[in-house]
Amino acid sequence: MTSPLLTNQPAAADPQPEPLALTPQLRDELAGASQALEQATPEQIIAWAVDRFFPRLTMATAFGPEGCVIIYLLSRIQPQTYVFNLDTGYQFQETLELRDRLAQKYGILVQLKKPELTVAQYEAKHGGPLYQTNPDQCCLDRKVKVLREAVQGMHAWMSGIRRDQSPDRAAAPIVGWDSRFNLVKISPLANWTKSDVWKLILQEGIPYNRLHDQGYPSIGCWPCTQSVMFGQDERAGRWSGSAKTECGLHGMEFEQGGGI
């Protein structure tokens, strides 16, 4: 049975809360929570996040398999959590269709947050596709800046990163301080493996991007995403042929306990 559709808008009607500050007390709380949740299940981690931060809790998803798993879990724990996608204008059509399939099954309509300029306006401004000449700036303008606007009023955000995805993500805590966006960052699947994710997807019939069946283990914007050969790193198809490995949303920006 299809769930009632929830538009998952942020709690904008409430007075704008004060931004969360990383006090010594909060630092200790986050370090303690991360340690306590290290062996917890994703359901337990999300339940803790909802209990501690909802309705000032959000989740950004690019509709990867991890994000689909978290949406499934949120539909069981707190389906009114504000979930959004950074719609750069360069997303695969299969990615946007997945948004509709998830909404139909779980009743959670992920909000599309767009940059100020359309793709045509942006490329005209820069004399052509900036992803070809300066992909870091393109990600900054069409992802990072948009996320900063999308999380205004929030105190914590969840992501679908896993430690085994790449060296950049290997040190990600379950709970930490994201100094890039001044938010608590919660990674419910950090201690899961790719196998764990796909086991749950197949077991529960969770919708996923059809491109995964065509050799695309990690999917971002279509100009910067390629299929990979069997045995390659699952993020090898992202910005293939360049030194770039992250779009700027994730990296070594965490503070847990006393260090970054």
What's the distance, CA 105 to chain centroid?
20
Judge if the upstream peptide bond of residue 10 is cis by omega within 30 degrees of 0.
Answer: no
Phi and psi torsions of 197, nearest 5°: -65, -50
* Inter-helix orientation angle 93-106/65-77, to 10°: 20
Q: Which of 68, 138, 139, 247 is catalytic?
A: 247
Task: Please say if 247 is a catalytic residue.
Answer: yes
CA distances from 249 to 66, 143, 230 (A): 16, 8, 27
Quote the strand ranges of the chain, DSSP E: 57-60, 82-86, 111-113, 156-158, 175-178, 183-186, 254-255
CA end-to-end distance (rounded Å), the chain: 45
What are the residue numbers of the active site? 247
